[in-house]
Structure 1
Amino acid sequence: MTSSTAIPFADRVAVVTGAGSGIGRATAVALAEAGARVLGVGRRKEVLEETASAHPGIAVLPLDIVEEGAAEEVVATAVERWGRLDLLVNNAGSTAVMPLAETDRSVIGRLFELNVTAPSLLAHAALPHLRATSGSIVNVSSTYGHRPLPGGAHYAATKSALEQLTRSWALELAPDGVRVNAVAPGPTRTDVLVAAGLPDDTVQEMFAYERERIPVGRLGDPEDVADWIVRIADPRGTFVTGQVLTIDGGLELV
């Protein structure tokens, strides 16, 4: 019989937002492979079903997390299905290329709604269940949450806000046995830039520029980030909270 030490998330339940592709999909699969029962949440049903097909431990909920009542529905779905909730991974987010000269109020609002408000409401809805299981929250920030991003300041500001929420919640919830950490990926091969409306050739130019700057000489893969989300969320890591782990191939050093 395989021990729970070998399968750290056995009998535990996780919610992963933005699970239809990229880091979210890789995280859902990695958690399921580590023994968790995973509810993958996202807007696009078809790509969520592709995620679910990757492992029998993954169920999906097509839903826009910025909608009214969405946070409560996500948490209720997981708890009704499996009876508990141990981990919330706030991965869903969006970016925008928006220099100050082109500032658009609606773009700012959408960025903060998805990148800051929605994770806050999900954490709020999950909290009673996380307290009951001594669970944890992992927020997905960005290397640009703590370094400047010319032309993308408002995106960077949302990630900076998420990192500050991480630290503050960690202090607030430590007495309840709930840990809160974050990972901050650098440039990673996902479809987030295409989803932001950038042409493919522009995306490839940006990737090439970033690749040249990264000390290890390559862009990140979603699995690079997912692996560390699983590690920092490991229920055996009870002494790790309030941390922001940068996963960017050394980019923040240059």
Structure 2
Amino acid sequence: MTHSLGTTHSLSSGAPRRTVVVTGGGTGIGRATARAFAAGGDDVLVVGRTARTLAKTAAGHAGIRTLAADITAAGAAERIVAAAAECSGRIDVLVHNAAAVLPEPAGSLTRGHVRTQVETNLLAPLFLTRAALPALEAAGGTVVCVGTAAVLGRRAFSGLSVYGATKVALDFLVRTWAVELAPRGIRAVGVAPGETDTGIGERMGWSAEDIARHQARAAARTPSGRVGRPEDVAWWIVRLARAEAGYTSGAVVAVDGGASVV
């Protein structure tokens, strides 16, 4: 486990610098989100399995600290909270972005792949939120869950039943936590990205041609006529976590170019 500290400063408005935690912050949406928060003057802790990719996220961004950790490991939630809160004793924003995607049809499910997806996509957010509650309450904080627009409404997700089921569960947690945690001054919101160019195809071993074909098909199905960029999703995460969004809780915002409504 590595832990590196960036410099600390205050927001130009004179308000205390917020502390933000982003899991899965080494690539894609997590990287874009961490950088967007840091650009706004926040202290950001990015968490992921690989120190090398986390270092790329933090490069050139003094407000980003890194913590290489397996979020599914015993004690990981407590280590993350301790690392995040060491500067201010609080956590203002907790972004559950880390996810495991292991495609398998129903007839070929393997226990190991199922366990990995459930532990990463559902159990880790559950227990990290539990561990962070005192720090979130101290800050009047916000929990943000990153789901997927592919499971909104009555849609199916062929070949990705376990991944999709965990994302449905995250949406339910957003609604439930919005009610349960409101008395503690904590909000819960979600974003549901559509097809987004996060580099996941590359990490899954797809060829450049496969990725191009997949994205072309996705763009053709999307009213906006393109796939999303990580920055498209990060923009919404940052704004849902702002004080101006304080009356928004329990909502899951689709960021998918309109694909979920056609």
TM-score bin, normalised by smaller chain: over 0.9
1:132 alignment counterpart: 138
SS of the equivalent of 1:82 reads coil
TM-score normalized with structure 1 length: 0.94
Deviation at 1:197, TM superposition (A): 4.3
Deviates further, 100-109 or 171-180: 100-109
SS of the equivalent of 1:81 reads coil
Matching residue within 216, 220, 225 for 1:208:
216
Residue 23 of structure 2 is aligned to residue 17 of structure 1:
yes
CA distances 1:126-155 after superposition (whole Å, capped 9, x unpaired): 111111110010000001232321121221
Q: Distance in 1 between matches of 2:169 and 2:206?
A: 24
Long gaps (5+) in structure 1? none
Q: Distance in 2 between matches of 1:41 and 1:226?
A: 16
Matches within 5 A, 1:61-140: 61-140=67-146
1:238 alignment counterpart: 246
Q: Distance in 1 between matches of 2:257 and 2:72?
A: 32
Q: Distance in 2 between matches of 1:159 and 1:228?
A: 18
Deviation at 1:104, TM superposition (A): 1.7
Does the 8 Å contact 1:10/1:34 carry over to 2? no
Residue 170 of structure 2 is aligned to residue 162 of structure 1:
yes
Q: Distance in 1 between matches of 2:16 and 2:57?
A: 20
Matching residue within 239, 248, 252 for 2:256:
248
Deviation at 1:221, TM superposition (A): 0.2
CA distances 1:69-119 after superposition (whole Å, capped 9, x unpaired): 111100101112333211100000021221112222221111111000001
Does the 8 Å contact 2:96/2:145 carry over to 1? yes
SS of the equivalent of 1:162 reads helix
The letter for the 2-side match of 1:58 is: I
Aligned residues: 250
Give the 3 Å change call, closer, same or farther, for CA 214–54 of structure 1 in structure 2.
Answer: farther
Give the 3 Å change call, closer, same or farther, for CA 67–200 of structure 1 in structure 2.
Answer: farther
Aligned-residue RMSD, C-alpha: 1.6
Matching residue within 144, 151, 158 for 1:150:
158
Q: Distance in 2 between matches of 1:242 and 1:236?
A: 16
Does the 8 Å contact 1:94/1:192 carry over to 2? no
SS of the equivalent of 1:54 reads coil
Give the 3 Å change call, closer, same or farther, for CA 167–105 of structure 1 in structure 2.
Answer: same
Long gaps (5+) in structure 2? 1-10
TM-score normalized with structure 2 length: 0.91
Residue 200 of structure 2 is aligned to residue 192 of structure 1:
yes
